[in-house]
Structure 1
Amino acid sequence: MKPLIRPSTRAFYREARKNSSFSLFNFIHGYVYARWVYFYLAMGTGRHPLAVKLKPLVSWIGNQIIKSPHKDESSPTIKIEDTYHGKVVPLEAARELVSVKEDIQLGDLEKVIPYALARDIVFKNPDHIVALDCPCRVAKEDSCTPIDVCLIIGEPFASLVLEHHPDRSRAITSEEAQAIIKAEDDRGHVHHAFFKDAMLGRFYAICNCCSCCCGAIEAQRNGTPMLASSGYVAVIDDDKCQMCGICQKKCQFSAISHKEKYTVNTAVCMGCGVCVNQCKSNAIHLVRDASRGEPLEIRELIRNFMQ
């Protein structure tokens, strides 16, 4: 007989209690999110059959999530994107995130994660990695495949997901995680490091996203800026460009257009590097853009922290 409260839930609660901003509301919110993530995100993206009927209730709950644990007149206005957001990470940066072997605590990464909340990287058992069926792809008809491409990283998150979604998740090694990231990159999909206030206010997952399925990209396009640039922008070398158009087709953010030549709209470009890796003539590269924030490059952040 399974215990009423599972070990992973207890571990999640103990870890939540260590947080200086702990609230019972946030703990319950985080548990509900992890425990019923498929229903949670299907409702949030409007893809669940009940989403239309219960839209006023969903909107009300969303407002409570923003207001209840963060009501402080001295603080800036909290927006929905402050509570749940992703940081775009190019291929190598994503692979680095699943290659960390030691516990790490990097707090308040404001220049890297430009949101009011949830901007810490706290690795506890970072070699505990779980591949989870992507909730966005599960909720969408005729979704991209494969679906087991969401990576849950570290504790207490990995155990929480494994224990509550045994049919939709599996424990994997760092090498397997890197292979998933590389395969998704080859498909032209974008890597996002996700942060959520209810997930202890920190990084907990890497999702490999496509514009046709991803709720975050959809929200970004609809005016909710829940994705932060990698800190880079793509630049096309006209002399090398073979005018094949692959970069435009593969860009998940529709940042590349063509008239007489292919050009990048740097205001829209998120610096994901998909176009770089898809270009057969090596005509595209990423350059740093200081106005787009600092990159989430974990090895560099660790080096800076140790200095």
Structure 2
Amino acid sequence: MQIPFIKQSTKEYYRACRKQGMSLFDFIHGYVYARWPYHYIGLAGDKNPWWRWLWVPLVFIIDRVHPFTETDAHRSGDPSQTRPTWSDAYHGKPLPLAEATKLIRLDRPVNTSLPETVLPYTKARELILNNPERIVLLDCPCRAGMKNPCTPTDVCLIIGDPFASFVLEHHPTKARAITADQAVAVVRAEQARGHVSHAFFKDVALGRFYAICNCCSCCCGAMKAHAHGIPMLCSSGYLAEVNQDLCTKCGTCAQKCQFKAIGFNKDGAFIREDRCMGCGVCTLSCPKDALTLRAAPEKGSPLKVDDL
């Protein structure tokens, strides 16, 4: 039976959910998330809209299902602890500029499951792109929820269908289709501002990658949650390191670092390795090229697009 008032992109998303074996509840959850992101995500902002009073009871209810603790086996080291956590359902991985650019420029369908070393979560580890050249630029729901947001606000890249078409069809005043070159320009400009590019994955987004968000710690709900102990972000698989012979202690890198991972001593800058997420923003900001990224297997594996 054809239902004329249901948008085509909604039908495509529903079909994809059925094909994936997802429940009706998951479909509704995903629909609400993508249909009303400025309400769903904006709850974490400081504009204090009328619906924000729902945030505390909502968090309490969700915490009963996905507790805000490190309880699953691969992170606790205890094989008996296998209950999924909040971050398993929704998480991001920082992308250095080179890898973000390659991911954006994918020009053919990709279908792969990322290993746990790349995304240390029990859910949402698929990188499946249908129509990967379909890219939509969306006004950031996190920044929209702030009284004084970072600018510009149109910095969220929705990549591939059915998500890109869904967002474009349901948010025509806040989203627009762009080319891969335009998307790369957005990422370059955001990283130059000191913002971090994250590949985001979500369980009700068919358990897969669906967006590259360019995030700042003052606005981004995921970064705020991570800073408060909810492990919604995993390392890029790299660590920043400093060439002390080149460092002039100008402080630019520390100002740009969203994770507060750079300090200074008498020798120059140093990296707080427990905080560094390997995003690479500091390497772009240093006027003396004193900062580079090195592979850090102890932090995990990079998302290397060339290997997909």
TM-score in same-fold range (> 0.5): yes
> Which has the larger displacement, 58-67 or 266-275?
58-67
Q: Residues 68-147 of structure 1: matches in 2 within 5 Å?
A: 76-147=82-153
Q: How many residues were matched structurally?
A: 293
Which residue is 2:303 aligned to? 296
Q: Which amino acid aligns with 1:14?
A: R
Task: Provide, for residues 122-143 of structure 1, a one-character-per-residue CA deviation record: whole Å limited to 9, x for no partner.
Answer: 0100000000000011111111
Q: Which amino acid aligns with 2:271?
A: V
Matched, 1:252 2:253: no
Task: Provide, for residues 128-182 of structure 1, a one-character-per-residue CA deviation record: whole Å limited to 9, x for no partner.
Answer: 0000000011111111111110000000000000011000000001111011111
Which residue is 1:238 aligned to? 244
Task: Provide, for residues 83-131 of structure 1, a one-character-per-residue CA deviation record: whole Å limited to 9, x for no partner.
Answer: 0000011001111111001111002432211111001100100000000
Distance in structure 2 (CA, Å) of the matches to 1:63 and 1:134? 25
The two structures, once aligned, show a CA RMSD in angstroms of: 1.8
Secondary structure at the aligned position of 2:206 is classed as coil
Which residue is 2:16 aligned to? 15
Task: Provide, for residues 228-287 of structure 1, a one-character-per-residue CA deviation record: whole Å limited to 9, x for no partner.
Answer: 100000000100111111011110000001132211001100000000010010101000
Which residue is 2:39 aligned to? 39
Contact 2:45–2:219 (Cα < 8 Å) also in 1: no
- Measure how far apart 1:46 and its partner are: 6.5
Which residue is 1:28 aligned to? 28
Q: Which amino acid aligns with 1:36?
A: W
- Measure how far apart 1:186 and its partner are: 1.1
Contact 2:150–2:219 (Cα < 8 Å) also in 1: yes
Unaligned runs of 5+ in 2: 68-79
Which of 206, 209, 215 is equivalent to 1:203? Answer: 209
Q: Which amino acid aligns with 1:53?
A: W
Which residue is 2:288 aligned to? 281
Which residue is 1:71 aligned to? none
Secondary structure at the aligned position of 1:227 is classed as coil
Change (3 A) 1:258 1:252: same
Distance in structure 1 (CA, Å) of the matches to 2:185 and 2:225? 28
Identity of aligned residues (%): 48
Q: When the two structures are superposed, what TM-score results if normalisation uses the length of structure 2?
A: 0.91
- Measure how far apart 1:49 and its partner are: 2.5
Unaligned runs of 5+ in 1: 68-73, 303-307
Q: When the two structures are superposed, what TM-score results if normalisation uses the length of structure 1?
A: 0.91
Q: Which amino acid aligns with 2:276?
A: C
Distance in structure 1 (CA, Å) of the matches to 2:168 and 2:82? 36
Contact 1:44–1:58 (Cα < 8 Å) also in 2: no
Secondary structure at the aligned position of 2:132 is classed as coil
- Measure how far apart 1:299 and its partner are: 1.6
Secondary structure at the aligned position of 1:192 is classed as strand
Secondary structure at the aligned position of 1:30 is classed as helix
Matched, 1:184 2:190: yes
